[in-house]
Amino acid sequence: MSTAIAVLSQTPPGHDGTLFVQGGGSYQAGAPANFLDIVIAMEDYMTIVRLLKAGTPVTLETDVKTAFHSEDTKGYNVIAEIKGTDKKLKDEVVMLGGHLDSWHSATGATDNAAGCTVMMEAIRILKTLGVKPRRTIRIALWSGEEEGLLGSRGYVKKTFADPATMQLLPAHQTFDAYFNIDNGTGKVHGIYLQGNEACPDSSSSRMRSSTAHVPTIPIWTHTITCVKTT
């Protein structure tokens, strides 16, 4: 009786040498190791399939080096802000951000160094220009996003409200908006509302008013469902 030691798989979008690697198992500390799943390019995968269908034995030699680090399982967010200057509005907060961690098999450039870079550059420009915002502008670079939005969810729970009970904390009353980039690079053509049907009108009017004086930044649409570069 043969014993399986690994799975070979491919994903439909993966062709021309591009690999789309899926989840690597549980991220919980102490969880058992996941069954080895090796993703290969579609061209190689289909070559193996054709050989097996033709009755030709296939032998593979692999060298897989994977390590799960459990020395420190805490997540670390990076938070910084430009304090508001208006006596009445300085306690109100507008947030922007992205996530620092990356998909386990990727370089992290698109997901999500690109988003973090845009948000950090926005803050750098404001600081360089010496802008004194009326409201506080806070940037957050999250950890643990790929494992389940752990960094942002933890921050929301401790700072604004526990989503399980919706018991609001004082900071929730002065929280105005949060803008996030995590859908790749390129021009931003609109806003994806994360399924929140309660805010299309307000978000659209805010973006139209905030970008009306900047003709090179058109905000074309906002959508309940995800659209690339929104």
In this predicted structure, what is the pLDDT of residue 49?
95
Residues 6+ apart with CB under 8 A from 14: 20, 39, 41, 42
Q: Fill in the amino acid letter for 103.
A: W
pTM score: 0.78
Provide the β-strand partners of residue 121: none
Report the pLDDT value the prediction gives residue 30, as an integer from 0 to 100: 79
Contact of 120 with 139, CB cutoff 8 Å: yes
- Burial letters 69-98, b for 16+ CB under 10 A, else e: eeeeeebebeeeebebeeeeeeebbbbbbb
DSSP letters of 201-215?
HHHHHHHHHHHTT-T
pLDDT at 15: 73
Give dist(CA 25, CA 31) in Å, integer: 9
Per-residue pLDDT of the chain (230 residues; tens, 9 = 90+): 677 778 888 877 777 777 777 766 777 777 887 778 888 888 899 999 999 999 999 999 989 887 777 888 888 999 999 999 999 999 999 999 999 998 777 778 888 999 999 999 999 999 999 999 999 999 999 999 988 899 999 999 999 999 899 999 999 999 998 999 987 778 777 777 777 776 665 555 555 545 444 555 555 566 666 655 44
Do the Cβ atoms of 100 and 144 come closer than 8 Å?
A: no
Tokens read off for 53: 């269908």
For the chain, the C-alpha Rg in angstroms (whole number) is 23
Active centre residues (catalytic): 145
